[in-house]
Chain A
Amino acid sequence: MASHLVRVDNLKVYYEKKTGLLSLSKKYIKAVDGVSFYINKGEVLGLVGESGSGKTTVGKALAGIIHPTSGHIYIEDKDLYALKGEEQRRVKMKIQIIFQNPFSSLDPRMRIKDIIVEPLRIMGTKDIDYDAIAKELIEKVGLSIHHLNRYPHQFSGGQRQRIAIARALSTNPDLIIADEPTSALDVSIQAQILNLMWDLQKELNLSYLFISHDMGVIRYISNRVAVMYAGKLVEVGDTKTVLESPLHPYTQSLLKAVPIPDPKKARRERIVVGEPPDPANPPPGCRFHPRCPHKMDICNRMEPEEIEVNSGHRIMCFLYQEK
C-alpha cells in the first residue's frame, strides 16, 4: 500500500447518553461507526452527507478535538492518538481546522495579529517574529497589513473566514480540515473563499478534507469524494466517477436532490424519502435500507461489506456484491 498522508482506520466515535431511572442505563449515539479512508499529499477529499451523518465528527476527530472511541488515525504512519505529549503536539500541528461559522471561530477580544499566530504561540515556538509571520499570512489570504490591529467585529463574514484560513496556515500544515467553510457565507463571497482555498492548495501543495453538503462546491474543489450516511462511508471514489455515475442508491438519491435552475426540467420523481435514522438506534443491516428504492431481502438482515468495484471506487451495497 502506498504511503498516504492521512489514513483513517475503522474510526468510531460514540457519544454516551444516559437514559432511564437514575441514569443507570447507557445508550450510545453512534455518530461515526467504523469509517476508513485515506488522503494523499496534495489531494482534496470531499466529504458529503446529510446533517447528522457524522461528517463534522470525522473532521473533529482528525483535528484532535474529539477523542475517538476506537480506531486509528495515522498521520504519515504515526498513530495520532497513540503519541504522547510533545510528539503528539507536533503531529497535531500538521493538521489545522477551519470552522463553518467565522463569527464564532475568532475570539472577539483578540486582535487579528494575535489570532493568526495563536497556534504558534500555543506551540511555544521561540525566537520567531510573530508580527512578521502575521504580516506575511494576512497578505497571503488577500487582506492587508493595516487589518492586523483590528478586532474581528470590524470584518465581514468573508474577511473573517480569510482570517481563519490565515490562522490555519500559520503552522505550515499538511492537512486542513475545512468544515463547511462556505456555508455560512453569501453566495458571492463563497466563490471568493473557494477560489482562495483552491489557489492556496495549489501553491502550498496542501491536502484538504473538505466537508460540505453542497455538491457544486464539492465538484469544484475536490479530487475524490466520500459519501457518508448515518455514521458510515457508503461510497468513495474519484469526484468525476462518483458524481457522474454514482453506484450506491443513497449517492444517487443525494445527487437527484441537487436543485436544477430550470422549472421546466423540475424532477417529478421522488427524491430521498423519509428521515435519516436515529443514530442512537440505527436500523439493522444496511442503514439505508428503510429509504432505499432497491431494497432487497438481505438488506435488513446483514450489513454490507465494503467492496471495490473499480480501482479506487469503493461502495457498501449488496447490489454490487457478486460483481
Chain B
Amino acid sequence: MIKREHLEILMESKLLITGLAILVSLILIAIFAGYIAPYDPIAQDFRPKQPPSSEHLLGTDELGRDVFSRLIYGSRITLYVSFLSIGVATLFGLPMGLIAGYYGGAVDKAISFIIDILLSFPAIILTILITAMLGPNLTNAMLSISVAFTPRIARIVRGQVLSVKEEDYVVASKAMGGKGWYIMLRHILPNSIAPLLVQVTLALGSAVIIESSLAFLGLSAQPPTPSWGDMINRGRRYIYTAPWMLTAPGIMITIAVLGFNLLGDGLRDVLDPRLRRV
C-alpha cells in the first residue's frame, strides 16, 4: 500500500522519469557496450576521418577508429568515474558532516576548517592540481574528484544535521539516554537523507563534466582508452574538416549531465514534503 503510493508520487514527476530513463539507457549502453558497438573501439581501419555513412554511423576519427563504437565504450569510463568517485566522496563526507554537525564545538570547528579550505578551490582547479601532482591516469582522476566532492557532501550533511538535531524527537531520544551514535544513525541520518540524495545526484552530473574536462586535458584515462573528453580533445583539431568527431561526444556529455540533473531535480520535487501535495 505504501509502496504503491510512493510509486504514484514517483510517476507524477516528469523530470524524475525523464532523468531516470536517460540514466538507465546510459547504464544499459555501458553494460552491453560489447554487443551494441559495431566495431572494436581501438581498431583502426586505415581510412581516417570518414564522414558518417551506413558503414560507420558517426564516421571515423583521425586514426580511422569508429566514432560510434568509441562513443558507446566511452560511456563506461564516464559512469564508472562519476559513480565511484562520488560514492567515495559520500563515504567520507557523510560521516564528516554527521560528526561535525552533531557534536559541534571544537570537533565542528576542526572539520569545518578543512571543509572551508577545500571549498575555497573551484572543483575543477582542485582536480587538475591533484592529477597534475600525482600523475595523469584514471585512478588519480577519480581520487581527485573524490577529494573535490567530499567537502561538498560533508557541508550539506552538516547543515541537515544542524537542523534535524534541534527537533523534539532528537531531544526526546537524548532525554531517554540515547547515545550519540544511536541518535545519529536512528534519527538524524534517516531524516537527513532526502536532501543528501538530491545533492549526490547533482554531484554525479558535475563529476561527469569534471571527468570529461580532465580527459580533455589528458589528465584522466590515457589513450587509447575511449573516453568522451579525450574524443572532444582529438576532434578539436579537425573541427572544420571532421565536425562529427567532436559533436557526437559533446552531445553525449550533455545528455548524461542532463540526465543526472533532471533526476536530481525530480528527486527534490518528490522528496521535499513541502512541495508534495497532501
- Residue from A65, A104, A167 within 8 A of B174 (CB atoms): A65
B223 contacts chain A at the CB level, 8 A cutoff: no
Q: How far in angstroms is the closest Cβ of chain A from B90?
A: 19
Contact: A108 with B172, CB < 8 Å?
no
Stretch from B80-88, B93-101, B139-147, B175-183 forming part of the interface with A? B175-183
B44 contacts chain A at the CB level, 8 A cutoff: no
Interface residues of B in 184-219 (CB under 8 A from A): 186-187, 190-191
Q: What are the residues of chain B within 8 A of A167 when measuring CB–CB?
A: 172
Contact: B176 with A109, CB < 8 Å?
no
A105 contacts chain B at the CB level, 8 A cutoff: yes
Q: What are the residues of chain B within 8 A of A65 when measuring CB–CB?
A: 171, 174-175
- Residue from B169, B174, B175, B177 within 8 A of A107 (CB atoms): B169
Interface residues of A in 69-109 (CB under 8 A from B): 89, 92-93, 97, 99, 101, 104-109
B167 contacts chain A at the CB level, 8 A cutoff: yes
Question: Quick one: CB contact mask for B161-173 with A, threshold 8 Å, 1 for yes?
Answer: 0000001110111
Contact: B175 with A89, CB < 8 Å?
no
Q: What are the residues of chain A within 8 A of B273 when measuring CB–CB?
A: 153
In the assembled complex, the Cα of A81 lies from the Cα of B174 at a distance in Å of 15
A119 contacts chain B at the CB level, 8 A cutoff: yes
A64 contacts chain B at the CB level, 8 A cutoff: yes
Q: What are the residues of chain B within 8 A of A119 when measuring CB–CB?
A: 176
Interface class of chain B by DSSP: helix
Q: How far in angstroms is the closest Cβ of chain B from A314?
A: 29
> With A64-B175, A108-B191 given, is the CB distance from A122 to B169 under 8 Å?
no
Name which residue of chain B comes closest to A99, CB basis.
Answer: B168
Name which residue of chain A comes closest to B182, CB basis.
Answer: A122
- Residue from A64, A89, A105 within 8 A of B169 (CB atoms): A105
A123 contacts chain B at the CB level, 8 A cutoff: yes
- Residue from B167, B173, B175, B190 within 8 A of A104 (CB atoms): B167
In the assembled complex, the Cα of A224 lies from the Cα of B161 at a distance in Å of 40
Question: Quick one: CB contact mask for A34-53 with B, threshold 8 Å, 1 for yes?
Answer: 00000000000000000000
A137 contacts chain B at the CB level, 8 A cutoff: no
> With A109-B190, A109-B191, A122-B182 given, is the CB distance from A104 to B176 under 8 Å?
no
Q: How far in angstroms is the closest Cβ of chain B from A22?
A: 16
Q: What are the residues of chain B within 8 A of A105 when measuring CB–CB?
A: 168-169, 172
Interface class of chain A by DSSP: loop
> With A99-B168, A101-B168 given, is the CB distance from A107 to B176 under 8 Å?
no
Q: How far in angstroms is the closest Cβ of chain A from B171?
A: 6
In the assembled complex, the Cα of A107 lies from the Cα of B171 at a distance in Å of 11
> With A107-B187, A108-B191 given, is the CB distance from A92 to B177 under 8 Å?
yes
Number of A-B contacts (CB under 8 A): 49
A209 contacts chain B at the CB level, 8 A cutoff: no
Contact: B172 with A99, CB < 8 Å?
yes
- Residue from B168, B171, B178, B191 within 8 A of A122 (CB atoms): B178
A63 contacts chain B at the CB level, 8 A cutoff: yes
Contact: A106 with B169, CB < 8 Å?
yes
A238 contacts chain B at the CB level, 8 A cutoff: no
Q: What are the residues of chain A within 8 A of B175 when measuring CB–CB?
A: 63-65, 92, 97
Question: Quick one: CB contact mask for A233-261 with B, threshold 8 Å, 1 for yes?
Answer: 00000000000000000000000000000
In the assembled complex, the Cα of A65 lies from the Cα of B177 at a distance in Å of 9
Q: How far in angstroms is the closest Cβ of chain A from B273?
A: 8
In the assembled complex, the Cα of A296 lies from the Cα of B61 at a distance in Å of 98
In the assembled complex, the Cα of A64 lies from the Cα of B177 at a distance in Å of 9
In the assembled complex, the Cα of A241 lies from the Cα of B182 at a distance in Å of 47
Question: Quick one: CB contact mask for B66-87 with A, threshold 8 Å, 1 for yes?
Answer: 0000000000000000000000
Q: What are the residues of chain B within 8 A of A99 when measuring CB–CB?
A: 168, 171-172
A118 contacts chain B at the CB level, 8 A cutoff: yes
Contact: B168 with A104, CB < 8 Å?
yes
Q: What are the residues of chain A within 8 A of B182 when measuring CB–CB?
A: 122
Query: Assuming A65-B175, A99-B171, A123-B177, what are 20 further A-B pairs, CB within 8 angstroms?
Result: A63-B175, A64-B175, A65-B174, A89-B177, A97-B172, A97-B175, A99-B168, A99-B172, A104-B169, A105-B168, A105-B169, A107-B169, A107-B173, A107-B186, A107-B190, A109-B191, A110-B186, A122-B173, A122-B177, A167-B172
17 contacts between A and B (CB under 8 A): A63-B175, A65-B174, A92-B177, A99-B171, A101-B168, A107-B186, A107-B190, A108-B191, A109-B187, A118-B173, A119-B176, A122-B176, A122-B177, A122-B178, A123-B177, A153-B273, A167-B172
Closest 4 CB pairs of A and B: A105-B168, A109-B190, A107-B169, A104-B168
